[in-house]
Each structure stands twice: as structure tokens, then as C-alpha cells.
Amino acid sequence: MATEEAKAISLKALVDKENNRVIFAESDVDFTDVLFSFLTMPMGTIIRLISNHNQPPTVEVGCMKNLYESIKNLDMQYFRTEACKTMLLCPRNAAAPQNKRLKLQIDDGELPRYFLCTTDGNLSGHKLLSLYPNAVCECGRLMNRTIELSEKAEQKLVFDARDRGVFVKGLTQFIISDELQVKPSSILTLLKCSMVSKKPLTETLLKRNSAPKFSIEDFDQNIYVESTVEEPESNVVGKIHVKLIISKSKKMVCCAEASEKFVDLVSSFLTVPLGYIIKEMQNSISKGSLTNLYNSVQELDVDKYLKSNEHKEMLISPKLAPDFSYENHPLGIKEGLHPTYSIRGYNGYNYGMKLTSDGEIPSAFPSTSDGQVLIVKDPKSHFKEATRGGFVAGPAMFTVTDNLIITPMSQVQSLSLLNKLKVPLSDTEEFVVHVDSEKALRLLMASFVSKFALTNAFLRELNPEQS
């Protein structure tokens, strides 16, 4: 009980008892930082946390839960390395060093671990470091020799109250409306907060035994417009082509036959931070409270309320964690950089050997101790590969349903799916779609807001009027 209370954050809330709703809450930096950190979280982490939450009902976020479960159920042979499946199901956060300082830790994922080649002597001559077990060194041996990361000197310093914020400056008070508009505390802000409509704070603070219930309008943009399917460019190497099986009468995608390149793209949606999705959706569809939260960060004056411009960018333009992108990724989302890792006190054995980052030298070793800079091995690549590949092994073909259930391709299963959808074979037609960056982004948004991702991405326009 004492531990749980230590992790709690106190809020002052103004409650409308007659209508059983929170009008606004007043918070210091601790709660505001936690709210803003949502924007840095990868979708795979969000789906995992929601699924593990033991209070019904289960919240569906478009097709993301189906996508997550498909990756979870897919046999390991379909992934390029053992680490690939772990990276999709437990994606890392590019803002993890900052989020470690949050007063309330939401992500229950494992802490990073570090591995060297099992060869003694001269670090196998390859100077490689792996952040995942069972990686294969360039010498062909497993990199399963664990090593600890020394604490940085600055982590031991005592911060005063003004420095305790993570993204937000300390000693700042904020007013948070029931629709997650975050503003510096003022009388005008209180007035604005009393005019809200959507109710995440009410659902959280006054109805603890129920999760938010989202309507069809929240997660299904379902307006049919002119078809956008097109014939692909002929014989273009490296392009992503998908064969859609379409019901002519229902004007919907029944399923798709796709190569590992398309499955690579779709599965990578689990690694994309929430803030990136909200940013890209700004000009098409609004997601209510999430959009309000994102816009609140955009509107805050950096000099007055945020730690720095860099911290603001982490929230409004979050990057993928290091190693989570791959060559020719259609979304083109930027990737964070690893810190510089070096090994200190190395003598060919584990005794006294410590891993440090960003040039920090542990006090246990003299300043004259030799240091060896290590290269972080791409966990998605095999030990001899020069290119940065994706997560899924190929060549392979998969069946992808409209709601993003992914399985190895089977004609029997495809016919069974048509039968389940009550679509006769005579009612179907095939189209091949070339997936460029624009369509990849459309598919990402559709998978987030809709239960019919393929149909909405390739046959329908997302409706900007719905939210």
C-alpha cells in the first residue's frame, strides 16, 4: 500500500456533482508531464498496456489490437531475427531517458539490457554491442555476454524544485480541462474549461470501474468516395504492391494478398509514437481529446513553461527509437540516435568491466583507464548483412484482412474468409495497389481510427468533418 501511495499523483479537481462530471483539474508539473508523455509512447506499447489492463470493457483502437495480436501469434520463422518480434510487441520509446524521470511510470516494459560477444580477449575484434539477447556477432558467435551500464554522474545530483519537471518547467501550475486542453493556470483558463464537452477526466476520476466507451464516429471514418486503387508501375524494383480482393456490391476490401514488404510496413505501425500519428492527422480528422492534448503542447510558450525547444520537439514531432526504422520505409519517419557507448576497465574478462554511455567514466576507474567505443548492432539484421532491413523475413506472402489480421497466405483461408463475409466469388474482383508514402500514411491513419483499415485507406477518403 505504501508503495502504491508513493507512486500516486495528487490532483485538485472542480466537480459538477449534479451532472457527475469533472469541470477541470489543477495540476503541477508531475501530472502534466505524465499526460504529455503519452505523445511519445509507441502504439505497440499503448495496445499492450490497454490489453493488460484488467478492468473491462476492452478499448478498441481502430485495427491496432488486431495487428498487435497478429504479430504476437505469427510464428518466429517469419521474422528476420528473434529480436524483431520483441521490437514490435514491446517497442522502445525514443524519449525513454526523459520518461524515466516521470513521477508515475506507466510503461511496464523491461529495462534495457546490454550484451557483448561471448568471445574473450579483444572484444572479438568487432567492437559490437547488442541491446537484445541472442544476436549474432560478425564472428558468428552469440552476443549473450551481459554487461551492466554504469549510472551517469548527473543522475546522482540533487535537483531543486525548479528542475524537477521532465518536459515542463518546475513550479508551474496548469489547468487541465475535461477534454485534455492544458493551459497555464489563470481565471480565463478556468472560464474556458467550464465550457467543455468530452470527458476523459470524468471517466478517469469519477468512474474508475469503467473504461472510456468510444462510438462508431470515434473510430470509424466510413464515407465512401471514388476508388483510389490504381495499377502499379510495371517492374519497379523495391516498390510495395498489394493485391486487393474487393467486393463489387459492398464496395469494400475483403482481404489483401501481400508480400513481406507490405507486412513490414503495417507491423511497423506498432513502433510509431502516438504524437506522430496525431501530428499527421491534424489536417484530415480530429481525435477529440488527443488532438487537444497535442495542440496544448504546440501552444505552450517554451521559454515560460517547457524545458527547452528540444523537449517540445520530443512531444510534437516524436521520433522512432534507435534501430526501429529501416531502409526505404514509406513513412519516412525520423529515428533517434543511440548514445555513445564505451567500455571501461576492460581486461579481457568480466572482472571490473563496465559499460558507460556518452563518455561518462565511472568513479570506480581512474581517468587514465582506456576506453573502447562500441558500435550498437542493428537487432533486425543478421551478422553479415550490410543493409538495414525490416522486421519480416522474405520472400513470403501473407493474407491481410480489412481489419488488419495478418496470417501466412492460404487459398483455403481466403475462401473461408469470403464465405464468412457472405461475399460470393462472382462478386469479387482484384486490384493491385502501389503503396507510396501518401498511401502508407493514409493506411496508418485508417488503422488508428477505423475497423476497416484497407477499405478506408484504399477505397475511401477519411472524412475531415468527423471526429
pLDDT at residue 463 in the model: 44
Helical axes 43-52 vs 64-73, angle rounded to 10°: 90
Cα–Cα distances (Å) from 209 to 35, 203, 205, 272, 420, in that order, read 20, 9, 10, 29, 35
Q: In Å, what is the CA distance from 79 to each residue of 11, 49, 129, 406?
A: 45, 23, 21, 13
For residues 59 and 50, is the Cβ–Cβ distance under 8 A? yes
Handedness of CA 158, 163, 167, 171 (dihedral sign): positive
Backbone angles phi, psi at 344, to 5 degrees: -125, 150
- Sign of the C-alpha dihedral, residues 294, 213, 89, 454? negative
- Going by the DSSP 8-state scheme, the letter that residue 151 receives in this structure is P
Question: Do the beta carbons of residue 420 and residue 255 sit within 8 Å?
Answer: no
Name the grid cell of 434.
502501389
Q: Of all helices (H) and strands (E), which one includes residue 288?
A: none
C-alpha cell at position 30? 508531475
Distance CA 445, CA 464 (A): 12
Each of the 467 residues of the chain gets a pLDDT tens digit; together they read: 344 444 678 888 888 788 888 888 888 889 999 999 999 999 999 999 988 876 655 667 889 999 999 999 999 999 999 999 999 999 999 999 999 889 888 887 788 899 988 775 455 556 889 999 989 888 888 888 888 887 654 444 444 555 678 999 877 889 888 888 898 876 755 455 444 445 666 666 665 444 444 433 443 443 333 344 444 444 344 589 999 999 999 999 999 999 999 999 999 999 999 999 999 887 666 666 888 899 999 999 999 999 999 999 999 999 999 999 998 899 999 999 999 888 876 554 545 567 888 744 444 444 334 567 888 999 998 766 666 789 999 899 999 999 999 999 988 888 899 999 999 999 999 999 999 999 999 999 999 988 999 999 998 754 444 33
Buried b (16+ CB within 10 A) or exposed e, 44-73: bbbbbebeeeeeeeebbbbbbbbbbbbbee
